[in-house]
Amino acid sequence: MTRFRWFSRILFSALFFGAAVAAQAAEVVFPTGSRIGIAPPPGVATSPRFVGFEDSANKVAIVVIALPPEAYAELERSTGRLGAQGATVERREDLSLDPGKAFLVVAQQKVGGVSLHKWILAAAAGDLTAVVTFEIPDEARESYPDAAIRAALESIAVRKTVPVDEQLSLLPFRMGELSGFQIGGIIAGRAVMLTDPVSDGRENAARLVIALAPGGPAQVSERDLFARDALTGMANLADMRIVSSEPLRIGGQQGHQIMARGKDARTGTDFTIVQWIRFGGSAYVQFVGTAPSATWTGAYARFRHVRDGIELP
């Protein structure tokens, strides 16, 4: 499947995402960790289940999705194919909103015997494409009149960044130290990537990935092989070779350390890698730090500061 076909699937899948409104809410609300927000109508609240808002009593969902900027053109072309997905398009219109040019699609669809009314807004917002879908079962239409839905969607706003503390709140562990790194990406409830704020190219940046995962071997004798396999799946470097592999206590718990070396596949730059795995209970924390060998000593000390500041709930 091509990348752009995947983008169009996002639009199509929105069709399957499964108290009266007086006026548009006064303020834009950003779901935790999202750069995209709207002024939601009364009756909905930020969802704990997905990025967006919901009225669980009326089975109303407002889903917020951020896509790469090039997705916008493909989504524009994809709207004509919604009928193939079982939707009946009522109308489509172009808009000019604060984030940039946008288009709105209003459609109907029956899913699992339930008739749904669907509003899909896509906006070209500089460095991303913002997509907001508003799904309402027919029986809830009186509580969510068209004017209120349109007002909520047209209030769409895109903030330049998400505050660091807000991003970190999405993680299943607490971070007491960033040691000069910036957040390069977060998978909510699972992992964070930290990276140097370098100006001479990302290929020269030190990076540290921290992930919490369920499981892990209970037997000490199985942990060396487990750690080696885990590193192979994480360190995206050419000619990687393990230099040492040994048990190590981390944060008062049993752990394992691997030191390795490799090369950047594109530039040939020598890199040094450290992996720590902290075992405990029914889950383990994996740390994978990589940095150019020429700057390894300083990066390694910072990796340790971050590692030692991690607190599990």
- DSSP-derived secondary structure for 27-85: S-BPPTT-SEEB-PPTT-EE-SSSSEEEETTTTEEEEEEEE-TTHHHHHHHHGGGGGGG
Instruction: Check residue 85 and give its pLDDT.
Output: 64
Place of tokens 């206590």: 249
Q: Could you say which of 158, 177, 209 is where a domain stops? A: 158
Alpha helix positions (H), 103-256: 146-154, 164-168, 223-232
Residues 177 and 32 in one domain: no
Residues 152 and 14 in one domain: yes
What is the extent of the structural domain holding 231?
Answer: 164-311
Residues 21 and 99 in one domain: yes
Residues 12 and 144 in one domain: yes
Residues 7 and 74 in one domain: yes
- Total number of domains in the chain: 2
pLDDT digits (tens, 9 = 90+) for 63-93: 999 999 999 998 888 776 666 566 788 899 9
Query: Collapsing DSSP states into helix, strand and coil, what is residue 21?
Result: coil
Instruction: Check residue 238 and give its pLDDT.
Output: 81
Residues 280 and 142 in one domain: no
Residues 192 and 288 in one domain: yes
Residues of the chain with pLDDT under 50: 1-25, 199-200
Q: Could you say which of 113, 128, 158 is where a domain stops? A: 158
Instruction: Check residue 115 and give its pLDDT.
Output: 85
Residues 168 and 286 in one domain: yes
Q: What is the DSSP letter of 143?
A: G
> How long is the chain?
313
Neighbours of 217 (CB within 10 A): 16
Q: Answer whether 17's CB lies under 8 Å from 131's CB.
A: no
Q: Could you say which of 116, 138, 158 is where a domain stops? A: 158
Instruction: Check residue 185 and give its pLDDT.
Output: 86
Q: Give the CATH number for residue 74.
A: 3.40.1000.10
- Phi-psi region for residue 180, left (φ > 0), alpha (ψ -120 to 50) or beta? left
Question: Is the pTM for the entire model greater than 0.85?
Answer: no
Residues 82 and 216 in one domain: no
Number of helices and strands (H, E) in the chain? 6, 18
